[in-house]
Chain A
Amino acid sequence: MKTNILGVYDDENDVMHAIDKLQEGGIKVKDVFSPFPLHHIWDKLNLTTRLPFATFIYGAVGGIATFALLYWTSVINYPLKFGGKPLNTLSFIIIMFVLTILIGTVFTALTFFIRQKLYPGKEATLPDVRTVDDKFVIVIEKDEDMDSAELTKIKSVLIETGAVEINESDVDYEA
């Protein structure tokens, strides 16, 4: 079982500052819990997401698939003239436009849920439950080979940067 050191903060600016200090001192910040998104943290922790790329693929495939359906049904499978218009008409664009959005939306949402492993009724294990209310928590993994000098250093940096509490937690959450 892994133990994490939790630095609890009241203010998001202190958290930003603390991450910089910790990283300068060569301490690896494992994670940060916050009640709302902290935009600068993603750069600091080198977090990226490929969700926009996935959405683009869904949209592209969705658009093409919609055109394929329209073309196949209206031109190949059952060619039926409506109002003298050509079988393969420009007005297909409207359905393609809307269904591209629908397919993009549905699959983006599903990808978000799957990648983030979110599903109805999932048990949530939080190292500190106050992070959904008003506390910010910096998580640092406590390695077995850390000596006491290193632990003291981590704690002193946390206190210096304005941590209101320093706790340890055995809660094993899925990052």
Chain B
Amino acid sequence: MYNTRVRGILIKGDKTYSEVTRDVLRPMDAPMPKWWYITAFIAISAMIWGVWGFYNTITTGIGTWGLNNNVAWGWAIINFVWWIGIGHAGTAFSIFLLILRQKWRTSINRAAEAMTIFAVMAAGLFPLIHMGRIWDGFFIFPYWNTRGPLWDNFNSPLFWDVVAISTYFTASFTFWYIGMIPDFATIRETTVSKMKKKIYGIMAFGWIGNAKSWLRFETAALLLGGLAAPLVVSVHSIVSMDFAVSVIPGWHTTIFPPYFVIGAIFSGFGMVLTLMIVLRKLYKFNDYVTDGHLDAITRILTFISLIMGSAYLIELFTAWYSGNEYELFTFMKNRVTGEYTFAYWTMLICNAIIPQFFWFKKIRKNITIVFIISLFINLGMWFERYVIVVTSLSRDFLPATWATYSPTWTEMAVFSGTLGLFVFGVIAFFRWVPTIAISEVKSVLKETTTLKSFTDED
């Protein structure tokens, strides 16, 4: 029931189990590298600037942002959706591929899940400060209040969002942590440092790894994975409904939920690709994150990029076919040819056209180009959210109310703060957590090394 065949070499270099342990734990014992300090310095500086942005927003109010009556949602929502999208990678990666029994996930899923955790943390900050009066934030929870009791509007997508995001964070974190317990036990038993033994001993929860505990562990992982898998679809569907249930032209479409989910998985995989290339370069993990792994991700991205391209075309078609002049205006005048041409075409080119270069094997093999394309995907997905939020709001039904939007320093500070938080989280993960799931890699080590690699085949 739990066993599947694999299709090629996943781990190169004929490793022994012990070598896997040493290789993955080596960077954690090595002296702190220079790049770590430099990155940490930049990330913390960005976070400090972000704290200033937060302080400014909370003490003065949302007026410090570039929002106006029409464009009531700006960078905060753009960045919120962008981060949530990136946060879909971990679950999409480890849980979808776990359910689909794709064993090549084993060397990447830990990092993808870590990325999810930090991305969702970054995302969650935006709705929090967008409330303005953050100290009244608890109003969103259904509790026995003194106003009637007046309960929440359970039919509001914004309330669904709160529930969905907090569930997503809890589920991802639980899945991630339980997956790490055996690896913490490995550190506990193999480290020479007393301090590490103590700390990882606490985090390992007394794991011993006998037959029964592995049975429960595998069952729990499969159950939690199975429970979280629908979240990949539901979270971003709900985020899309924040837009789709309104009547704003460009938002009021039924394609939004699938289009958002696919976009989220697209940006998530894009960020996974970016990070895995960095991780593999820094830690020389080429035997674990092989060219075959990166190749598999680029192939998935090519496919998803095609879906993104069709979604963009369908949006245009529906705008025309609906015969609704506001829709037509938003898409044809405003986005394709009008004021927001730059943002629209950046989105289209980065998401639907540039990843198509992955059709060429030469490009898939050139890691530098793959890395650059992955950055374009991250950029393109940011512009997608910008196009959705700003173009529709700034030019709605009444030309008299048209307004333009540009972010203020406070908004930029908040965004850079979340970027700093994410980067710091990732490098902390690189340093203090085994970046590759040791026990999972060991479980696929033997059965794969006798077969041919799937990149050597073609």
Partners in one complex: yes
A residues apposed to B, CB below 8 Å: 11-13, 31-42, 45, 47-49, 51-52, 55, 59, 69-70, 73-74, 77-78, 80, 82-83, 85, 89, 91-92, 94-95, 97-99, 101-102, 104-106, 108-109, 112-113, 115-126, 129-134, 139, 173-175
Chain B min CB distance to A111 (Å): 8
Q: Enumerate chain B residues within 8 angstroms of A36, measured Cβ to Cβ.
A: 182, 214, 439-440, 442-443
Which residues of the other chain, B, contact A139 by a CB distance below 8 angstroms? Answer: 210
Q: Nearest chain A CB to B99's CB is how many angstroms away?
A: 14
Contact B206 A12 (CB under 8 A): no
Nearest residue, chain A, Cβ from B237? A94
Cα distance A47–B178 when bound, in Å? 21
A77 & B206 in contact (Cβ 8 Å cutoff): no
With contacts A122-B205, A133-B186 taken as known, whether A112 is within 8 angstroms of B154 at the C-beta atoms is: no
| Contact of A55 with B223 at beta-carbon distance under 8 Å, contacts A42-B211, A47-B212 already known | yes
Chain A contacts for B218, CB-based, 8 A:
37, 39
Could you say which of A33, A95, A101 contacts B227, with CB atoms under 8 Å apart? A101
Contacts of A35 in B (CB 8 A): 17, 182, 186, 209, 438-439, 442
Give Cα distance in the complex from A174 to B212, angstroms: 11
B325 interface contact, C-beta 8 A? no
Residue of B nearest to A121 (CB): B202
Measured CB to CB, the residues of B under 8 A from A are: 1-3, 16-18, 21, 142, 148-156, 159-160, 163-164, 166-167, 170-171, 174-175, 178, 181-182, 185-186, 188-190, 201-220, 223-224, 227-228, 230-231, 234, 238, 438-440, 442-443, 446
| Interface residues of chain B: helix, strand, loop or mixed (majority) | helix
Residue contact A41 to B211, C-beta cutoff 8 Å? yes
| Contacts known (A51-B219, A132-B182); A70 close to B206, Cβ less than 8 A | no
Most buried by B among A69, A132, A175: A132
A102→B171 contact, CB < 8 A: yes
B215 and A89 form a contact (CB under 8 A):
no
Closest 4 CB pairs of A and B: A122-B206, A134-B17, A118-B205, A37-B214
C-alpha spacing A59/B155, complex, angstroms: 22
Q: How far is the CA of A64 from the CA of B60 in the complex (A)?
A: 43
Cα of A119 to Cα of B201 in the assembled complex, Å? 11
User: What chain A residues lie within 8 Å of B185 (beta carbons)?
Assistant: 124, 132
Most chain-B Cβ atoms within 10 A of its Cβ — which of A40, A42, A80, A139? A42
Of B16, B21, B189, the residue contacting A126 (CB under 8 A) is B189
Q: How far is the CA of A78 from the CA of B154 in the complex (A)?
A: 12
**A70 engages B154 (CB within 8 Å):** yes
Given contacts A82-B156, A126-B208, A133-B186, 19 further A-B contacts (CB under 8 A): A32-B210, A33-B208, A35-B442, A59-B227, A80-B150, A94-B238, A95-B154, A98-B167, A98-B231, A101-B230, A106-B170, A109-B178, A112-B217, A124-B201, A124-B206, A126-B209, A130-B189, A133-B21, A174-B208
Q: How long is the Cα–Cα vector from A92 to B420 in the complex, in angstroms?
A: 37
Could you say which residues of chain B place their CB within 8 Å of the CB of A49? 215-216, 219
A-B contact pairs, 9 of them (CB 8 A): A39-B2, A69-B142, A82-B156, A104-B227, A109-B174, A118-B181, A126-B189, A132-B182, A132-B188
Chain A residues near B16 (CB-CB < 8 A): 134
Beta-carbon contact of B201 and A82 below 8 Å: no
Asked whether A109 and B167 contact (CB < 8 A) given A32-B210, A41-B211, the answer is no
Docked-complex contact A108 and B170, CB < 8 angstroms? no
CA distance A105 to B174 in the complex (A): 8
Enumerate chain A residues within 8 angstroms of B18, measured Cβ to Cβ.
133-134
Kindly identify which residue among A69, A113, A130 contacts B205, using a CB–CB cutoff of 8 Å: A113
Q: How far is the CA of A139 from the CA of B203 in the complex (A)?
A: 26
Other-chain residue from A109, A117, A129, A175 in contact with B220 (beta carbon distance below 8 A): A109
**A119 lies within 8 A of B440 (CB):** no
Say yes or no: A175 contacts B443, CB within 8 Å: no
User: Which chain A residue has the least Cβ–Cβ distance from B441?
Assistant: A36
Q: Given that A80-B150, A118-B181, A173-B210 are contacting pairs, would A132 and B223 also be in contact in the complex, using a CB cutoff of 8 Å?
A: no
CA of A20 to CA of B398 in the docked complex: distance in angstroms? 79
- Are A74 and B227 closer than 8 Å at their CB atoms? no
Residues in B with CB closer than 8 Å to A101 are 167, 171, 227-228, 230-231
Q: Which residue of B lies closest to A54 (CB)?
A: B223
Contacts of B174 in A (CB 8 A): 105-106, 109
